[in-house]
Structure 1
Amino acid sequence: MNKLILIDGNSVAYRAFFALPLLSNSSGLHTNAVFGFTTMLLKLIEEEKPTHFLVAFDAGKVTFRHKGYEDYKGGRQKTPPELSEQFPLVKELLRSFGINQYEIEGYEADDIIGTMTRLADERQFPVVVVTGDKDMLQLSSEYVTVALTRKGVSEVERFTPGHIHETYGLKPYQIIDLKGLMGDASDNIPGIPGVGEKTALKLLHEYGSVERVLEHVDTLAGKLQERVRDNADSARMSKELATIYREVPLELGLDELGWSGYEGGKLAAMFRKLEFKSLLDKLDLPVSAGSDEPQEELRVEVLEAAALESFAARLAAGETRSLHIEAIGDNPHHANVVGLSFRSADGCLYLPFELLLSDAGRPIREWLSDPEAKKNVYDMHRTEVALSWSGIDLKGVAFDVLLAAYLLDPTESNHTLNALAARFGLPAIQADEDVYGKGAKFRLPELPVLSEHLCRKASVLERLVPVLRAELEKGEMHVLYYELEKPLAAVLAGMEKTGIVVDGDGLLKLGAELGSAIEKLVSGIYAQSGVEFNINSTKQLGDVLFEKLGLPVVKKTKTGYSTDAEVLERLAPYSGIVDNILNYRQLAKLQSTYVEGLLKEIRPETGKVHTYYQQTIAATGRLSSQFPNLQNIPIRLEEGRKIRKVFVPSEPGWYMLAADYSQIELRVLAHISKDAKLIEAFQNNMDIHTKTAMDVFGVSESAVDSNMRRQAKAVNFGIVYGISDYGLSQNLSITRKDAAQFIEQYFAIFQGVRHYMDDIVKQARTNGYVTTLLQRRRYLNDINASNFNLRSFAERTAMNTPIQGTAADIIKLAMVQLSKRMQTEGVKSRMLLQVHDELVFEVPKSELELMKKLVPDVMENALPLDVPLKVDVNYGLNWYEAK
């Protein structure tokens, strides 16, 4: 059976944006609206099984309605840039789904959908219209169901003519009369002032239409008669504005909207770009791309025990050898190393991992651990960690293909060998999923298939080395690669192999304390509500808060009352129970995510957790921690900070020492922008947020209160991240107008910052990229785009990348320099963690005074700037005490 889905693209994207928190991928591109739109599409496809599809968009700000009423939609606030930049992504997403999209100058999406539903009605063609706009209810008919979005866009309420009558007591065509009387603030349709929905419905139930109400104005009582008589023209115009035009000259018909499903490969490529890994997994889409290039002829030899000694001699005689080490699994500390492949002059050799671990494999293991035996590999950091758990050292890496590929294009999310083969026109490699399977279907293939797959990887790896090496030289990133990123990979592997001790008993004790605190909160909540209920149940909690306790309803969903964090925070002033519920949720998350989660991550044989730092993910150059994520332990709550107490030294009598850069990004901004006021503040060791508040508000230091400093701090850090008036208004809970004025005041005072922002965008337009102080490069393909939204995002990225990227480079540089300095000094102290701008060490008591001086000395002088870098150092018996 045929079914057409018509989606109001602007409306759904807008609702998705405001329903979800601001999300972004590793390139800094905001994706929350796209993610919400995508989940809505997938749900519609699953539930409706459409045969035809169209998403309609508004073509511009001016429509035929503006000719009769210039203020149409005039009250709407400017679309936040964080949403505007996502519309091109939504449209690209639709292309990847194979879904038709349409817009036409002078008309709105409503009019396109209205015309399509008219055509569908004429052919008795079933339609579902998806929108957040109640105006669309006028289109409901025997064949047209209007699905109004609820709860963001995750739920919809379906309106048939019968449901419209049950809800409003009206027929679908009377919705325009309803709008004519009550108006619509979102579209700046005036209606009759003082007439709300309740009054408008009462009038329509009695008279049926705007025109009939006006005819019977003399029968109305008191003020209502006066309002209707004085605003008769407004009511007629409002009804006309609310009427969807259903005669748009479309260039496509129903038959051209056929849709037979999405193509997995195209959709997977889009999800990879957006970094929607959860959706890749949910739909079982391939996580890596293949190449259309034919596979090369390759002679594969499987090494046997008897041949290993002579092969080791051949390795020792070579200058540099390209090899691939296959370690399967997301977490390198638990990866399954299955084999090694070596590219030779006349083919490729495969070495099973179990043979490498045998007595016969000893000479190969010695070659792998020889720092003088040079090797080209893929992902030296991950490989070194994976091999270490089998007692094998990897030394002497000459070139790391993954690290080079990442530096050359940090915004690309897929740097697998088969993706790189496709990118550089090399022979194709079969996708890992096609060789091993995914999830429950995963298995190691037979030896001939496995050995050939790994040999093809080694072959492509060898051919990539000279290409990538030349590209690094061309991009002037060879120094960054050889002197920072490659040495850092070894430093990170060393830190991860060392690990950090977690006091399991202390963690259990903390868990018990949290459990007691949670129980106390639960008892208090029950006492305050007078009933026991499931606090985790949205429905039961809603019933207690809004029906039993009578708190004001903030937001409702299709399934009942909303009790999300935003709603509870708005309700907090009305009742103490709300604060208890918020605290309960926070403590319950700490208990499950961090107490129970960390217990699972303690490795039994070491008593430590061994995190893994991803070096090739973030476009800014920052590291990210996984398995477990130790960069994300919450420290705003005291209970969250207490989790750091369980991280302790691995030796008795040792200390934990933490060294933290103070406001490093703002100091980098001062250096790069050469802003005299910022430089002066840092050189005089002033509190930069107080200084900003003094200058922006025009007050003395003593007159700066905590709220002024808080606002100044939000602006200071917001400037670094290219914040908009919308973003700042959300952070400070102020109007967008006030936020815009605040930003303007900032730029009027810190003119060096404004000149930097202007100049860096011009530079980006000329070069197509921006760089950090250490020449880390980020390409901005959309910096000269004709599309305003794409260009705006690229401009903001141009402004903040040199700042964020340089800050990331500085702490990385400090880590490399500290590793060398600690080796030179011969200390026993160990570097354990990097948490954003902080480094954590374990230090014997005898070295404490030395490390308290050595660490800040290296960190503060890692890269000379026009302003001093400042490092705060603290120590204690655990990580908590070291802060």
Structure 2
Amino acid sequence: MQRPTAPRLFLIDGYALIYRAFFALMTRPLVTSHGENTSATWGIATFLKRLLVTHKPELLGWVHDSGATFRDDLYPEYKATREKLTDELQADFDRGLERINQLLAAYSIPVLAVPGFEADDVIGTLARKGVDAGYNVVIVSGDKDFQQLVRPGVWLLNPGRGGPASVEEQWVGVENANDRLGVPPDRVIDYLALVGDSSDNVPGVKGIGEKGAQELIAQFGALEDILAHVHEITKKRPREALLAQEAEARLSKQLVTIHQDVPVALDPSTLQMSAPDTQALRHLYLELEFTSLLKDLGGSAPSDAAAPPPAIVPRPAELSLDTDAADSAPTYSNRPAALAMTMSASGVPVLADARYVTVDTVPALEALLDRVRDVPFIAFDTETVPEPGAPATIDAMRATMVGLSIAVAPGEAYYLPFAHRHEDGGGNLALLSGDAGIAGRRLNAGVEPPVNLPAFASDAIAPLRAMLEDASVKKLAQNAKYDVLVLRGAGVRLAGLEFDTMLASYVIDPGRRSHGLDLLALEFLGHTMTAYEQLCGKGRNQLPFDVVPVDAARDYSCEDVDITMRLRAKLEPMLGSHGMSDLFRNVEVPLVEVLADMEWDGIAIDLTWFESLKTRFKSERERVEQLIYTEAGQEFNINSNPQLRVILFDKLGLPVKKKTATGPSTDASVLQELAEEGHTLPTLLMEYREIFKLEGTYIDALPKLVHPRDHRLHTSFNQTVAATGRLSSTDPNLQNIPNRRELGREIRRGFVPRPGWRLLSADYSQIELRLLAHLSGDPAFVSAFRAGGDIHRQTAAIIFGVDLADVNGEMRARAKTINFATIYGQGAHALSRQLKLPHAEAKAFIDTYFERFAGVKAFLDRCVVEAKAKGYAETLFHRRRYIPELKERNHNMRAFGERVAANAPIQGSAADLIKIAMIQVHQALASEGLASRMLLQVHDELIFELPAGEQAALSALVKREMESAAALDVPLLVEMGVGDDWVAAKS
């Protein structure tokens, strides 16, 4: 099909695209770390980027509806069947609309609307005027109504969508205009008048379908001609339908006809495309946490700095850093001016005030080391490639160092190449396509073989290794743990780490979605860094870093350490002004070495045991599958949600608990609720899903992740993910192996010590309840813990007003449930479900609990009040969690914020406490010279590996250090066990 040529006028059906973007992510909305729903804005931002890059329109207008129209007067039920949004969703949608208007303003795209007319009519009129003025018009919409406007000079473009489930865009012109509806454009309104339109509640003629409408139009033509010859229609059903519904047919034609005489002028000067305001886009994308779009904005330049900030509606409680108030997450409301840039000879953009130097001789290295001794601290960064045979992922445990960069001052940095190469196994990389980024283009130009320093392990480099191991040389990095592990692999134990910009960002605002260097540079320095993909390309054309020309590698790597150095100057004062320096320096930074040691040591698994589990799990899954088929009365694809809906809600008639855009929900919460009501199939489905997940996540995956060097698993502990302050575990995640069911425990049995050693488990007993007692100061709660024994039994005695000896099992179970429900802010509804009690009885139970423990209630209420006043909750160790949801209009989000405010001091203090304990235990193990090693942290539990003869010493050390991690009004208690596998040690 012939595509439109310039000059082209693109007219976008705005609301249709916004609604589609909003509802596309209805079940899993995109939400910022501060609680803003960005689904619609993200959809429109990515759509605009795709449209502008792909089609480069000369003129563009964004068209919106504007209130009630003549169609509503003609037919009050017009569009009445459209799904109504709840108050909360409407608030999300309205906020998204505000953001989209800011986005359009940044792109200088005009929003066109005419009161009393739909966007369709405005588009129809502008399309007619555009053709008359000599433009080729492109209507961007997926709405079938616009088929009626296709003619020479007018095209339709259904934009499709990107992402993993991408759909290609579709063009409609005069050549294929009949394909979608089976009628030509000048008969579309007659077709729609007959078949109706359920999305707009256009009635049509009941009894006439798509095929019937096509046949009538082919035989008689327009609706009026069909009605005039209605008695000639030979088929009884359409003839009688038209005789009975003539008025509906004529009304429907009026409703679907797009007017082309709206009072709106075509002003090409207003619609002319111009360069976007990149500074305004940068501000907006930072607010919305659109990381990938931020990276696409390109390098910073002085011209960007001159652009005024957009009229961004501030998120709740947002203040500039230059105020004295501390009621919002630290961020710049007025972004800094962009750093001046220039283009280096290597083709990599660099900071104009920077001096980046290659150090490729031993005398030059010696001079650099002398310079290092003259400065208060240095920033460093390693550049790596995966070791031979390793997956092409960023895994410090399987990385080979290519180079090292060192910054000694802002704007002064050095690059040390160690393993750059010119050829790849005999294939000259200079033959690669220029699509492989800056480095690929440099290779095409023909680059001399690289000059490297002597090998990192050589005697000539010993002074550098000594400097890295010298604690008196203070060091900073971004994500230092990665570099610590890379250097460990190269034979160096780094010392002197005192600052990590990623950790500083996390401590200042743990709710930030990303603490990556590129985002921090944008937010705090106004600088867009060179992305790895810009340097090395992407996809199959991506070059490994060791073939990047040294001068390009220098400019890229030195920028990293230079920006890290500059960021410290921004972040360090913020840590001090917010009272977080101690938390940062005494907890988070020392923890880097602890975690690096744990990751380096790893943990062993019994591969023979895991192989036997594969057979057992497969057999168990197949057993549950047969029970499911029997209960359902047929076989079906259990992993297919559409098929599952049919079985649960159509065939078995189970009650629908929640709806999604595609039908009744079958998620875990729905199955749980149905199971609690006594339905058998949902119970079996939950069991099946758990087995299926355990098989894929652990049984099949873990043996494949065993490291070929030492045959152990090496998880990665993440310090900057959870807003609570807790550590998380990835690649593999060893913190989520279930322990309550036998299947989960069977997996844990496969975690074993090295031959001749044993495992020790040390677990804080009821740490969150103990912290609640300490923080609340409730006399009854504190006394119960000081008395020792079973806290849940003690609580039950107080709640039910009975002697301790008279507490039965049911009383204890209920007391335990409400103890933990209190921590997580659960109300009567949740408690009634957990205890299977009527709502009123559950509420009475909560009321009694808070009457007996009035100090706990007062503390929880006080947490919410103080968080609303300050904008954040704070732990015992002064870690903050900002809670903008407390000021949201959306009731559900505000209620969520209140639960977070009550829980964050408890859960966050527990996270801090285990970190402090880990640091103390790590230091004590070194000072006492024990060979035992700390291997894993799983929430409030630490796992150790110990050789024969160290059990008594290790047990005493661990108990002493964990129980002295903080001085509380109630005793800290650690429960320990030793065994030949994880389960045996835990029990």
For 1:122-137, list aligned pairs within 5 A.
none
Find the counterpart in structure 2 of residue 361 from structure 1. 461
Summarize the Cα distance change of 1:254–1:84 in structure 2 as closer, same or farther, 3 Å threshold: farther
Q: Is the 8 A contact 1:498 1:610 kept in 2?
A: yes
Q: Is the 8 A contact 1:832 1:841 kept in 2?
A: yes
Find the counterpart in structure 2 of residue 613 from structure 1. 717
Give 3-state SS (helix, strand or coil) of 1:591's partner.
helix
Q: Is the 8 A contact 2:295 2:528 kept in 1?
A: no
Summarize the Cα distance change of 1:12–1:482 in structure 2 as closer, same or farther, 3 Å threshold: same
Give 3-state SS (helix, strand or coil) of 2:985's partner.
coil
Give 3-state SS (helix, strand or coil) of 1:300's partner.
strand
Which string of whole-angstrom CA distances, capped at 9 and with x for unpartnered residues, describes residues 237-296 of structure 1?
xxxxxx9xx9xxx9999999999999999889877766778xx4xx89659996821123
1:718 lines up with 2:824 in the alignment: yes
Of 385, 396, 417, the residue aligned with 1:332 is: 396
Question: Offset of 1:427 from its aligned partner?
Answer: 7.0
Question: Offset of 1:324 from its aligned partner?
Answer: 2.0
Please say which of residues 469-478 and 729-738 is displaced more in the overlay. Answer: 729-738
Summarize the Cα distance change of 1:665–1:436 in structure 2 as closer, same or farther, 3 Å threshold: farther
Find the counterpart in structure 2 of residue 640 from structure 1. 744
Question: Offset of 1:300 from its aligned partner?
Answer: 3.0
Aligned mates of 1:364, 1:394 — CA distance in 2 = 11
Question: Offset of 1:524 from its aligned partner?
Answer: 5.2
Q: What is the RMSD of the two structures over their aligned residues, measured on CA atoms? A: 5.9
Find the counterpart in structure 2 of residue 297 from structure 1. 353
Give 3-state SS (helix, strand or coil) of 2:475's partner.
strand
Q: Is the 8 A contact 2:761 2:944 kept in 1?
A: yes
For 1:389-400, list aligned pairs within 5 A.
389-400=489-500
Question: Offset of 1:173 from its aligned partner?
Answer: 5.2
Of 602, 620, 629, the residue aligned with 1:499 is: 602
Find the counterpart in structure 2 of residue 66 from structure 1. none
Summarize the Cα distance change of 1:407–1:115 in structure 2 as closer, same or farther, 3 Å threshold: same
Q: Is the 8 A contact 1:551 1:571 kept in 2?
A: no
Which string of whole-angstrom CA distances, capped at 9 and with x for unpartnered residues, describes residues 364-412 of structure 1?
1222123343333333322101222222321222333333333233333
Q: Which amino acid aligns with 1:349?
A: Y
Summarize the Cα distance change of 1:312–1:861 in structure 2 as closer, same or farther, 3 Å threshold: same
Please say which of residues 749-758 and 571-580 is displaced more in the overlay. Answer: 571-580
Q: Which amino acid aligns with 1:828?
A: A
Question: Offset of 1:322 from its aligned partner?
Answer: 0.9
Q: Which amino acid aligns with 2:530?
A: Q
Find the counterpart in structure 2 of residue 596 from structure 1. 700
Give 3-state SS (helix, strand or coil) of 2:700's partner.
helix
Question: Offset of 1:814 from its aligned partner?
Answer: 0.6
Find the counterpart in structure 1 of residue 432 from structure 2. none
Question: Offset of 1:606 from its aligned partner?
Answer: 0.9
Say which one has the larger Rg: 2
Find the counterpart in structure 2 of residue 323 from structure 1. 379
Which string of whole-angstrom CA distances, capped at 9 and with x for unpartnered residues, describes residues 153-172 of structure 1?
x999x999978976999994
Find the counterpart in structure 1 of residue 27 from structure 2. 19
Give 3-state SS (helix, strand or coil) of 1:839's partner.
strand
Find the counterpart in structure 2 of residue 310 from structure 1. 366
Question: Offset of 1:442 from its aligned partner?
Answer: 3.2
1:482 lines up with 2:550 in the alignment: no
Q: Is the 8 A contact 1:325 1:340 kept in 2?
A: yes
Question: Offset of 1:472 from its aligned partner?
Answer: 3.0
Of 507, 510, 524, the residue aligned with 2:613 is: 510
Question: Offset of 1:811 from its aligned partner?
Answer: 0.6
Q: Which amino acid aligns with 1:298?
A: A
Question: Offset of 1:590 from its aligned partner?
Answer: 1.5
Q: Percent identity?
A: 32
Q: Which amino acid aligns with 1:19?
A: T
For 1:108-119, list aligned pairs within 5 A.
116=119
Find the counterpart in structure 2 of residue 805 from structure 1. 908
Q: Which amino acid aligns with 1:589?
A: K
Aligned mates of 2:818, 2:13 — CA distance in 1 = 48
Aligned mates of 2:670, 2:892 — CA distance in 1 = 31
Summarize the Cα distance change of 1:745–1:205 in structure 2 as closer, same or farther, 3 Å threshold: farther
Give 3-state SS (helix, strand or coil) of 1:622's partner.
coil
Find the counterpart in structure 2 of residue 230 from structure 1. none
Q: Which amino acid aligns with 2:507?
A: L
Q: Which amino acid aligns with 1:805?
A: G
Find the counterpart in structure 2 of residue 349 from structure 1. 414
Give 3-state SS (helix, strand or coil) of 2:404's partner.
strand
Which string of whole-angstrom CA distances, capped at 9 and with x for unpartnered residues, describes residues 483-507 of structure 1?
2222111111111111111222222
Q: Which amino acid aligns with 2:402?
A: V
Aligned mates of 1:605, 1:743 — CA distance in 2 = 55
Give 3-state SS (helix, strand or coil) of 1:608's partner.
coil
Q: Is the 8 A contact 2:402 2:418 kept in 1?
A: yes
Q: Which amino acid aligns with 1:633?
A: I
Q: Is the 8 A contact 1:13 1:34 kept in 2?
A: no
Q: Is the 8 A contact 1:288 1:414 kept in 2?
A: no
Q: Is the 8 A contact 1:321 1:342 kept in 2?
A: no
Q: Is the 8 A contact 1:164 1:170 kept in 2?
A: no
Q: Is the 8 A contact 2:19 2:40 kept in 1?
A: no
Find the counterpart in structure 1 of residue 551 from structure 2. 448
Of 750, 753, 756, the residue aligned with 1:649 is: 753
Q: Is the 8 A contact 1:174 1:209 kept in 2?
A: no
Give 3-state SS (helix, strand or coil) of 1:873's partner.
strand
Aligned mates of 2:585, 2:14 — CA distance in 1 = 54
Give 3-state SS (helix, strand or coil) of 1:609's partner.
coil
Aligned mates of 2:816, 2:87 — CA distance in 1 = 26
Question: Offset of 1:141 from its aligned partner?
Answer: 12
Aligned mates of 1:287, 1:330 — CA distance in 2 = 25
| TM-score, with length taken from structure 2 | 0.64
Q: Which runs of 5+ in 1 are unaligned?
A: 59-71, 101-110, 132-136, 148-153, 178-203, 212-242
Give 3-state SS (helix, strand or coil) of 1:342's partner.
strand
Of 922, 931, 943, the residue aligned with 1:828 is: 931
Q: Which amino acid aligns with 2:752?
A: V
Please say which of residues 789-798 and 673-682 is displaced more in the overlay. Answer: 789-798
Find the counterpart in structure 1 of residue 772 from structure 2. 669
Question: Offset of 1:451 from its aligned partner?
Answer: 0.7
Q: Which amino acid aligns with 2:602?
A: G
Please say which of residues 586-595 and 418-427 is displaced more in the overlay. Answer: 418-427
Which string of whole-angstrom CA distances, capped at 9 and with x for unpartnered residues, describes residues 101-127 of structure 1?
xxxxxxxxxx99985567668879999
Higher helix share: 1
1:373 lines up with 2:473 in the alignment: yes
1:843 lines up with 2:946 in the alignment: yes
Aligned mates of 1:343, 1:624 — CA distance in 2 = 31
Please say which of residues 6-15 and 412-421 is displaced more in the overlay. Answer: 6-15
Question: Offset of 1:805 from its aligned partner?
Answer: 1.9
Aligned length: 783
Aligned mates of 1:544, 1:41 — CA distance in 2 = 39
1:773 lines up with 2:868 in the alignment: no
Aligned mates of 1:641, 1:763 — CA distance in 2 = 42
